Chain A
Amino acid sequence: MSGEVVGLWIGGILTLGIFSFIYKDNPFYKFSEALFVGVSAGYWFVVTFWQYFLPKLIDNLVLAYTVLTVEGKIDYHWVYLLGGGLGILMLLRLFPSVGWLSRWSLAFIVGTTAGLQFTRYLESNGIIQVKGTILSLFVWGDLNSTIGNIVIVVGTFCGLIYFFFSKEHKGAFGGAARVGVWFLMITFGALFGYTVMSRMSLLIGRMDFLFGNWLGLIK
């Protein structure tokens, strides 16, 4: 019996085990869930070691050391020592007396991410999008574009009104916020539809696996 066949059977049985939750919670589901959680944790540990820790820290430090011993130069890869140090500080959380040192690592992560993303979001998701929303409210000879542009401008404006937290939603402001809510809910409806489509696609994939790959009923 080849490994592929064994894999198919394990996959099929575990798929049915997870699906059994649809009926009600049962030991078969509990076993499948526990197996999934355990295997994924183990898999993630292995991936973290071989794909993150080894190539990013160990290999780079070994390279820096090699350059130092062979060529006598200080290579820029020594900077990974800083990353490794911050990682060790993170692990010090396990020791309550020095656990506070992990805040330095957290501060580094949060600070660099914020700095990296600040200008990127402002440019890509802010300025360029605002420019894309500045549209003519009347396009001569093109009714579709006229209506589309008005919808975009009004929807964006009223949506921004809804997310304005410094003023209570009353009067004309409240009316505009209400229009904004309508636009939001229509958008969420469209997103909901898309996501339902996505879920159905995943279910179709699983059904194809069960009936096609596993049971061989679909050619």
Chain B
Amino acid sequence: MKDKDSHWTRVLSLFLFVFVSLFLGMQTCLAQEAEQAEALQDSLAQPPAPPTNVVAKDAPNDNGHALLVIWTLSADDGAGQNNVVSYQILRSDSPDGEFEVRGLVPAGENTYKDKGAKEKEDANYLPPHKDFYYKVRVRSDGIFSDSEVSLPAHAYGQWYHTGKTAVLLAVLIFSTFALVFITVARKGKKLYIRPLAGIEAVDEAIGRATEMGKPILYILGLGSADMIATIASFTILSRVAKKTAEYQTPILIPCCDPIVMAVAQETVRAAYLEAGRPDDYKQENIYYLTSMQFAYVAGVNGIMIREKPATNFYLGKFYAESLLLAETGSLAGSIQISGTDEIAQIPFFVAATDYTLIGEELYAASAYLGREPVLLGTLKGQDWAKALVMIFLILGALAATFHFQFFLNLFKVQL
């Protein structure tokens, strides 16, 4: 009996214990839920902390129609309640006046450039030297809070763009090098240029044409007269034309640009005069063909097949027609000397012509042949600038490897 009683006592105690535990547990859960719900309600109702330290100032390095607004992020941006969605930037022309929305940036950003138009008639005109006041509104799902109004700021233009200092220094350094060496060259000092294979072959090529009694074909390329490659080609043409005048070898120059034709005629006429054979100059050998790229190529190819020149010069600006020209010249059995600064066409000239002046070698060739102080001086100036770049490259690579950021900052160009 006693055992039975104690058994039931134990069962009852266990039942009571479980019941009370469950009851208390439920109460706790409910309380916690209520607490959470309350907390959630509290958090939804509470706007994020406003941004602080709002500063408005003139946007640097511009024309005077923009202001820069900077602020300290809201305490709830990435921390605290972590409920910031975006920042709205508002502007007014008085601290108590009506503020208009100027822009919106996402959470995490703390700067905004308020850029206005410079034309007075424009609705977005931002007048310089006029005070504006800013405040920043932090937003989170329909609720927001505003910062304090900033101190007044006005926009004004800068005379000097500090972000372009690297460009200015580069211009000054390069110009100095060029001017110094031009002066040195003008004083008669011999400036050394290493020999170039393509140039040494020019005389041989012209001689070949004379022996064969065939003309020389000189193609100035498809560039206009203001392009560097075309200008370099004119200098070489002058030298070639003088030689052809001396050897009395005809030279044919079909042109793609009327202005280039005009300059070429001038150049060749001057060369023939210098060689003492002005009467041998034939203007009809230097003519305009067409300005359309492939039509020009078709025309020149026809000339090559019909006239069968002994020597072809392709010196200047070339595009897709380079291989077409070189292949046809090769078919016609001509010796070919080429040079262009158009990188994409150099492989074709290297493969299909006998001598190629690669890129800058074309400019060097014009300096080498022309021997004009300006050309020589600028080539030397370029060389020194290149040397400087090489030094910067090595030092920069070492600095980058050892994480010296200051070097990279030297080349920072602000856009």
- Residues of A with Cβ closer than 8 Å to B? 18, 21, 25, 30, 33, 36-37, 39-41, 43-44, 90, 93, 102, 106, 109-110, 113-114, 118-119, 122-123, 126-128, 130-131, 133-138, 149, 153, 156-157, 160-161, 163-169, 184-185, 188-189, 191-192, 194-195, 198-199
Contacts and interface: CB of A to CB of B under 8 A. Distances in A.
Contacts of B296: 37
Given A136-B400, A195-B348, A157 B390 contact: yes
Given A41-B292, A106-B259, A163 B386 contact: yes
Nearest to A139: B401
| B interface, size bucket | 35 or more
Interface stretch (B79-87, B101-109, B405-413): B405-413
B225 A106 contact: yes
7 contacts: A130-B392, A135-B397, A157-B393, A163-B359, A165-B360, A188-B347, A191-B344
Contact of B390 (A122, A138, A161): A161
B231 interface: yes
B396 interface: yes
Interface string B324-341: 000000000000000000
B11 interface: no
B299 interface: yes
Interface in B311-355: 320, 323, 343-348, 350-351
Contact of B393 (A25, A39, A130): A130
A219 B386 CA distance: 56
Contacts of A184: 358
Nearest to B164: A123
Q: Which of A41, A134, A153 gathers the greatest number of chain B CB atoms within 10 Å?
A: A134
A90 B263 CA distance: 11
B408 A44 contact: no
A134 B348 contact: no
A134 B400 contact: yes
B170 interface: yes
Given A188-B346, A191-B343, A127 B413 contact: yes
Contacts, number: 157
Nearest to A90: B259
Nearest to B358: A184
B310 interface: no
Given A134-B400, A165-B194, A157 B360 contact: no
B180 interface: no
A126 B389 CA distance: 9
Contacts of A122: 167, 170-171, 174
Contacts of B227: 113
Nearest to B396: A134
Contact of A123 (B167, B174, B358, B400): B167
B389 to A, nearest CB: 6
Interface in B356-402: 358-361, 364, 379-380, 383, 386-387, 389-390, 392-394, 396-401
A128 B291 CA distance: 34
B305 interface: yes
B8 interface: no
B262 A102 contact: yes
Given A136-B397, A156-B393, A167-B194, A188 B350 contact: yes
Contact of B401 (A44, A137, A167): A137
A37 B289 contact: yes
B300 to A, nearest CB: 10
A134 B361 contact: no
Interface string B187-200: 00000111100000
A166 B195 CA distance: 10
A172 B307 CA distance: 47
Contact of B413 (A114, A123, A166, A199): A123
A118 B172 CA distance: 12
A64 B344 CA distance: 44
A44 B290 contact: yes
B298 interface: yes
Q: Which of B302, B380, B392 gathers the greatest number of chain A CB atoms within 10 Å?
A: B302
Given A118-B171, A127-B411, A37 B290 contact: yes
Contacts of A30: 302
A40 B226 CA distance: 23
Contacts of B397: 134-137, 149, 153
A161 B389 CA distance: 11
A192 to B, nearest CB: 4
A194 B302 CA distance: 27
B262 A44 contact: no
A36 B403 CA distance: 60
A131 B408 contact: yes
B298 A36 contact: yes
Contacts of A128: 411, 413
Contact of B411 (A106, A130, A157, A189): A130
B383 A164 contact: yes
